[in-house]
Structure 1
Amino acid sequence: MKPIIVVRRYEDKDLLQMQEVIRNYVMSMFSNAFWFCLFREITLQLIVLSTAIFFIFIGIPLIYCLSSVPVVVVLIAVCVYCSHYNKAIEMSNMHAPVCFVVDLYEPFTILLDKKELEYIHLTEEELKNHQDEIKKMRPKRVVGTISTRNHQALHESAWIYRIAVDPNYSFVQITKPMIFQVMEHAYVNGMFTAETTCAECHEDVRELMLKIGFNIRQIYHKTIIGSSLRVMKAQLGIDLQKFYKNHQNKEILNQQRDYNKSEY
């Protein structure tokens, strides 16, 4: 029996589970971010600076000044961890006009790695026809979330943000239906494009977006500490009109688009 995932609108009762998913997802990226920062120019600059301080101002023998290397490494690790922890809290408490979550129904016994499992994606209506299977599974739990709002710079464009998935489960299989749900929601509410951004260390998000059909609008560098530490980010976007041009539910979507009141 395969696990079942259902994408639905966020409810107030989902708050605690959603916040836990966001915190775990953000903190799971600590390792990649740490190695990313460790091999930047700022690491060498800090080692040279700390060695000079130890040798010139404190008078420590030069051979012992090599202890500045592990000190700098630990300092970078602490800074990266604190920044991720702060980001996790910020994202958890961020207001989202439109938010979706993913419910997971999984069997009581799972022998394979959870990241290697294949999931059955159902809508809320389709789930009603699988109640017999649901009764044989564990109680549902939130394993993913995604939010969207009106783009602040582009007219009639949706902004996709706050994507988070439980790190114990397959990122691609859970994130993909969430993105499609947000795109459909944006389309039926009169949006013409959907935009988002991702950092260079978030390769899984960028690759998934490109496979779905997003295009790279531009690549830019976000400055963190002068020119010593900058993060390359990519702005991704998709034309919803072209994407749904040959969609099998085009007539239904167009009807909803004409009569549905925008939630943005």
Structure 2
Amino acid sequence: MSSFCVIRKYKEGDEHTIKEIISESVMEQVNSYFWNACLSELFPQIAVACVAISYIFLGIPLKYALIFVPGSVIFIYLVVYFGHFIKTNELNSDLDNIPNNYMKDIGTTFLVAEYHGKVGEAELSSLMNKPKKFEYDFYTEREFQLGNVNARGLSKIVVGCVAITRSMRNSERLADPGLCVVVTLFGSAYAFLTAKQMYWNEGFVNSESINKAFLGFGGNLLSFKMYRPLNKPETIEEATESQNETEQQNDLIDL
């Protein structure tokens, strides 16, 4: 039997793996945020401020004060790293009680992607070294139970998770606060597109995008606010057209 993936609801015992996935997803962004901060106007501002304070106010000779230029790079990295570390701890504390925090309201749920296949070192190495294409069969929990899928000899491991909760701005809408996937098993592009298509297939359309700066620099965190429309779009193109029409109508109402 070839490898496949089952999309199912969270069940007790998944917490440890989910926390590992969330932690890895957050901490792997440290380097990208660090380089974005160093290449932005933030780095020269901090470097000049540190040199000026040490030279003018503290009386440190200029040749020694210039040491604060590379020191600013270290400072930025430490701020970014500990900022992500604190964020990881906050998320892990929320995951201590998933049923109460993510599944208590009507319509909300917490889904996990459970990979069935070989997950040994050789398998992981071959998956990571494949250049472009990943092909897996995806089943819902009901399809897996009723379809008599042969999973003998295959290991099971949770490789992704997503929470659907009530939007904080509009309680009548559902929101996707985060989607995490182990890219070593699926490949980043395939995993993202598959998860995105899954939303469209379930009838969700992107209604609002929010860019949130992290610690004031280093790029934005992007989250999607989603809702279930009256007429479920069949494709991404139809969903996009529906979203554009909704935005145009809202613009006319504002006028």
TM-score using structure 1 length: 0.68
Matched, 1:165 2:166: no
CA RMSD of aligned residues (A): 3.1
1:35 maps to what in 2?
35
2:42 maps to amino acid: I
User: Is contact 1:183-1:240 (8 Å) kept?
Assistant: no
- 1:147-203 per-position Cα deviation (integer Å, ceiling 9, x unaligned): 011112225210111222224232343445555656677x6xxxxxx5xxxxxxxxx
Q: Which amino acid aligns with 2:179?
A: I
22-31 vs 170-179, greater mean Cα deviation:
170-179
2:66 matched residue in structure 1: 66
In structure 1, which of residues 70, 77, 96 is the aligned counterpart of residue 102 of structure 2? 96
Aligned to 1:13, the other structure's residue is in SS state: coil
* Structure 2 alignment gaps of length 5 or more: 95-100, 104-108, 236-255
User: Aligned with 2:51: secondary structure?
Assistant: helix
Distance in 2 of aligned mates of 1:236 and 1:219: 7
Kindly state the Cα deviation for residue 42 of structure 1 after the two structures are TM-superposed: 2.1
Confirm or deny: 8 A CA contact 2:177 2:224 kept in the other structure: no
Structure-2 separation of matches of 1:161 and 1:223: 15
Distance of 2:158 and 2:179 partners within structure 1 = 13
Structure 1 residue aligned with 2:152: 135
Q: 1:93 to 1:20 in 2, by over 3 A?
A: same
Q: What percentage of residue pairs aligned between the two structures are identical?
A: 21
Deviation per CA, 1:217-257: give whole Å up to 9, x if none. Answer: 466564845xxx4855666455632662448xxxxxxxxxx
Matched AA of 1:241 = P
Q: Which residue of 2 aligns with 1:241?
A: 229
Q: Structure 1: state its 5+ residue gaps.
A: 188-193, 195-212, 248-264
Superposed counterparts of 1:98-113, under 5 Å = 98-107=109-118, 108=120, 109-110=122-123, 112-113=126-127
Deviates more, 1:140-149 or 1:52-61: 52-61
Shift of 1:57: 3.3
SS in 2 for 1:153: coil
Shift of 1:119: 2.2
**Mapped partners of 1:233, 1:181: distance in 2:** 22
SS of the residue corresponding to residue 112 of structure 1 reads: helix
Hey, what's the Cα distance between the residues in 1 that align with 2:59 and 2:232?
Answer: 69
Deviations 1:119-145 (A, max 9, x none): 22122233344653x2232x2111111
Q: Distance in 2 between matches of 1:130 and 1:54?
A: 71
CA shift digits 1:64-122 (9 cap, x unpaired): 32211111101100110111111112122223222111111122552523374322212
Question: Does the 8 Å contact 1:219/1:232 carry over to 2?
Answer: no
Secondary structure at the residue paired with 1:86?
helix
**C-alpha spacing 1:113/1:177, structure 2 compared with 1 (3 Å):** closer
User: In 1, are the aligned partners of 2:209 and 2:225 still within 8 Å (CA)?
Assistant: no
Give the structure 1 partner of residue 252 of structure 2.
none
C-alpha distance in 2 between matches for 1:43 and 1:243: 49
Give the paired residue count.
Answer: 216
